[in-house]
């Protein structure tokens, strides 16, 4: 029967894999995500107010994200 030889690792690769990116990188990624979704969210409130399934058509008091009405 062959003896099992344990695998010994220095742990260097594992520590590198778990290292978090610098905060600047995370901030840039977050800003890029915001920029890519800005168009979607900038008109979302008005679209919801205009959608009869979400807002009463006769109600001019729908919140559009800035003020009531519109």
Task: Evaluate whether residue 11 is within a structural domain.
Answer: no
Task: Evaluate whether residue 10 is within a structural domain.
Answer: no
Instruction: Determine the distance from the C-alpha atom of residue 7 to the mean position of all C-alpha atoms in its chain, rounded to a whole number.
Output: 40
pLDDT at 3: 60
Phi-psi sector, 33: left (phi>0), alpha (psi -120 to 50), beta: alpha
Task: Evaluate whether residue 44 is within a structural domain.
Answer: yes
Task: Evaluate whether residue 66 is within a structural domain.
Answer: yes
Q: What is the pLDDT along the chain (70 residues), one digit of tens a residue?
A: 556 655 555 555 566 677 777 778 888 999 899 888 888 888 887 787 777 777 666 666 776 666 765 5
Task: Evaluate whether residue 42 is within a structural domain.
Answer: yes
Task: Evaluate whether residue 60 is within a structural domain.
Answer: yes
Q: How many domains does the chain have?
A: 1
Task: Evaluate whether residue 28 is within a structural domain.
Answer: no
pTM of full prediction above 0.75: no
Domain that holds residue 68: 35-70
Task: Evaluate whether residue 55 is within a structural domain.
Answer: yes
């Amino acid at each position: 029967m062959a003896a099992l030889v344990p695998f010994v690792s220095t742990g260097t690769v594992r520590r590198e894999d778990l290292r978090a990116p610098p905060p600047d990188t995370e901030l840039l990624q977050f800003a890029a995500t915001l920029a890519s979704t800005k168009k979607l969210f900038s008109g979302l409130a008005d679209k919801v107010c205009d959608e009869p399934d979400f807002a009463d058509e006769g109600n001019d008091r729908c919140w559009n994200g800035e003020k009531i009405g519109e």
